[in-house]
Amino acid sequence: MWWDPDTIDKTVTRQFVCHHLLPEEIERLDRPLGFGDGLTDGTYWEWINEKARRIFLILVDIGAPDQIFGVIDDSWDDEDLPIALDQVERLALTPSKDEKSERRFFYRQFYYLLRPLQKGEHAIYQEDEVVPLDVVDKKQTLPTGQSQGYHVDRVMLPNHPGMVFCRRRIPLGPGFGPGYLSHEDFLYEVNGIKNLQNQHLVSYFASYIQHEYGYVLFTLPADFTLKSFLTTTPSSIKNLEKKERRRLVLNWIHCLVDTVCYIHNRGLSHGNIKPSTILFSNDNHICFADFTRFNPEVMPAMSDKTSFDKESYDYAAPEQWFKPTGPPSPTHRRSTIASPSTSPDNNQSFFISRMTDYGVNSPMAMMHAPTPHLNPQAADIFSLGCVILELLSFLLKKQGRPFATHRAAKHKSPGRGGAVLDSSFHKNLGQVDSWMSQLVKDASKKDDQEFRAILPMLHVVGHMLSLHPSERPAANDVQTKMYQILRDAAGILEPHCVHQYGGWDFGIGSMKLNSPTQLSRNNSHDTMSIMTKRSSGTRSIEHKRTGSGGSSPGSLRRSESNREPERERERPRTNSDLSSSFQTLLNLRMSKVRHWQAPVYTEMRA
């Protein structure tokens, strides 16, 4: 039981007090107070009821309720709590000095002086204070050599019943080695993430400091990740009807895209999108892992900058793992990055240098945008496209190892012990394209309406996986198109997470981007358009929805400039049109892959 003020008031009643006193002591409750020389007409019961409820509970707790009369005669009340350990003997709890009883009173008083954590609050607890929370389960998520005192567990707060939080413990103090934060850095990071709140993003709830540790409570603790989901389908998904399962996965895609919109429209990037950072709860709620310095992946990465994270490599954007070897071609757009080292023996020197001081595994590196040529938001779009492709493969029962094997079928990297398979997306875009073509064929054989969304979604994914960062769509555009596909192709009239994110949030401290991209839409969900490339040009299909404000000027200009002749615009699309368009897109993209990669860029050994 947590002794909050309401619980104390409900517990300490006349009946409760009498239950813990002898008959002659009960009679004394209604006598006038023994101090004051008749200047007060109050009784002992009135003093307890109005001023000493906590003290009486502490005395009951240590087995000395009868001492309440002597405590009141010395004018002690709840306002005097907490009482220092060297002052407890003044209460005269025992006929002679008893250090054991005094220590018990000192430590137990803090259970009746609770300061519950509130949402958005940062608290500093003294060494002996009691933090009112219950540990649901506790586990050390990092190897002992890397954790350096960093722990993760699940807790519940008595003032927020039914909610489970993820609590992370971070050692504080200068000079303790990698993985530690100073008190100032801890508070700086806390203040930076307070306003980053989203239902599909692990978000800050509250924090506190005690015993030279900083503790942060986050929402949405996960039961499993997309990485495990792709290997073994959880029972919470298996038990769903097929139609409901397909719609759930399609809505997941829209939720993820919407959350990336939320992040990007605040001038941030996630920087660490991969299956292990896509989290699920047992009630099938999907969310992104947070991308703060408090993330369990970040702290060990700061202390071990040479560790290689294969999953991060596989789902990273091409520009994060390629370096230039010559001047850029004037006829093709590309993202050029200065190379600090070309030593063949240092197989990660380039990537580590680009990740500044946070290490190869750190999502913080992308948020700090170490060079003006590396667009972390465009890298997010590429990685998100990889994740969406995994989910679409799941709909067709082709996810996980078969997809990874297909990606690595034509590309092996040399290494000790024989060739090492390279299953990354960025190194095997040709195989990724052939996989998408196979998904189109498989989806065309399905009659259920949900499968009609796969082909147009693959159109969007194809653009998201463009080799050149400048050719990838913005998150807002991806959200617009995915919404239209769910409505028109999949028949989901009310997709999850339909939001319009506007404005900029520059209160996230060091997580701001150097050059935030411009918003592509300014008003509430008014005009939604999906662009599909065709051999004869670009076509725009618009869906009007009610909302505050009108169409943004940018969207209207795009619609007018891309408008086709009236008879062509009114002709309904067919599957052959879309399949032809999809193949044209793949052919165009692969021609750019071959031109961009061969003369200008070489890949660092992984």
Model confidence at 486, pLDDT cuts 50, 70, 90, reads very high
C-alpha to C-alpha distance for 198 and 221, rounded to whole angstroms: 14
Residue 178 has pLDDT above 50, yes or no: yes
Contact 153, 137 (CB under 8 A): yes
Query: How far apart are the C-alpha atoms of 162 and 474, rounded to whole Å?
Result: 38
Query: Could you tell me the domains of the chain?
Result: 5-112 (no CATH), 122-221 (3.30.200.20), 226-297+309-520+572-603 (1.10.510.10)
| Per-residue pLDDT at 461 exceeds 90 | yes
Contact indicator for 221, 165 with CB cutoff of 8 Å? yes
**Count of helices and strands (H, E) across the chain:** 24, 15
Q: Which residues contact 442 (CB under 8 A, 6 or more apart)?
A: 396, 398
CA distance 494 to 31: 70
Q: Which range is least confidently modeled, 47-61, 192-206, 553-567? A: 553-567
Binning pLDDT at 50, 70 and 90, where does residue 222 land?
confident
Between 198 and 547, the more confident residue is 198
pLDDT in tens, 418-449: 556 888 999 999 999 999 999 999 999 998 99
Contact 290, 202 (CB under 8 A): yes
Q: What does the block give as tokens for 415?
A: 């290494």
DSSP per-residue string spanning 292-345: STTSTTHHHHHH-TT---HHHHHHS-GGGTEEE-SPPPTTS-------S---TT
Q: Is the CB of residue 189 less than 8 Å from the CB of residue 276?
A: no
Cα Rg of the chain (Å, integer): 31
Lowest mean pLDDT among 61-75, 188-202, 275-289, 566-580: 566-580
Of 220, 170, 218, 228, nearest to 200 by C-alpha is 220
Q: Do the Cβ atoms of 81 and 113 come closer than 8 Å? A: yes
State which amino acid sits at residue 571. R
Whether residue 250 is predicted with pLDDT greater than 80 in this model: the reply is yes
Cα–Cα distance, 258 to 480 (Å, whole number): 9
Question: How does pLDDT run across 494-546, given as a tens digit for each residue?
Answer: 898 887 665 433 333 333 333 333 333 333 333 233 333 333 333 333 333 33
Tens digit of pLDDT for each residue in 333-390? 333 222 223 333 333 322 222 233 333 333 334 333 344 468 999 999 999 999 999 9
Spatial distance between the Cα atoms of 390 and 512, rounded to a whole number of angstroms: 30
Residue 512: count of CB within 10 angstroms of its CB: 19
Strands 204-210 and 122-124: parallel
- pLDDT at res. 42: 87
Q: Give the pLDDT confidence score for residue 343 in this predicted structure.
A: 31
Contact 293, 234 (CB under 8 A): no
Tell me which residue of 351, 344, 370, 374 sits closest to 305, measured CA to CA: 351
Whole-angstrom distance, CA of residue 46 vs CA of residue 12:
12
Residue type, 532: T
Averaged pLDDT, 168-189: 80
CB count in 10 Å sphere of residue 481: 23
d(CA 166, CA 295): 11
Angle ∠(121,127,132) on CA atoms, nearest 5: 50
Please tell me the predicted confidence (pLDDT) of residue 404.
87
Q: Which residue has the higher pLDDT, 557 or 497?
A: 497
Residue 572 pLDDT: 43
Query: How far, CA to CA in Å, does 10 sit from each of 5, 13, 15, 66, 489?
Result: 9, 7, 11, 21, 58
Do residues 321 and 382 make contact, with C-beta atoms less than 8 angstroms apart? no
Question: pLDDT, tens digit, for every residue of 122-171?
Answer: 999 999 999 999 999 766 554 434 445 678 899 999 999 989 999 999 99
Q: Which candidate, 603, 270, 336, 367, places its Cα nearest to that of 469?
A: 336
Task: For tokens 């209460």, name the residue.
Answer: 91
Which token pair is 55? 């003290």
Helix (H) or strand (E) holding 155: strand 151-156
Mean pLDDT taken over the chain: 76
High-pLDDT (> 70) share of the chain, %: 67
The residue type of 225 is T
Between residues 52 and 402, the one the model is more confident about:
52
**What pLDDT shows up at residue 148?**
54
Name the pLDDT band for 398 (thresholds 50, 70, 90). confident
pLDDT band at 44 (very low <50, low <70, confident <90, very high): very high
How many other CB atoms sit within 10 Å of the CB of residue 556?
13
pLDDT in tens, 55-102: 999 999 999 999 999 999 999 999 999 999 999 999 999 988 899 999
- Structure tokens belonging to residue 529: 């358009």
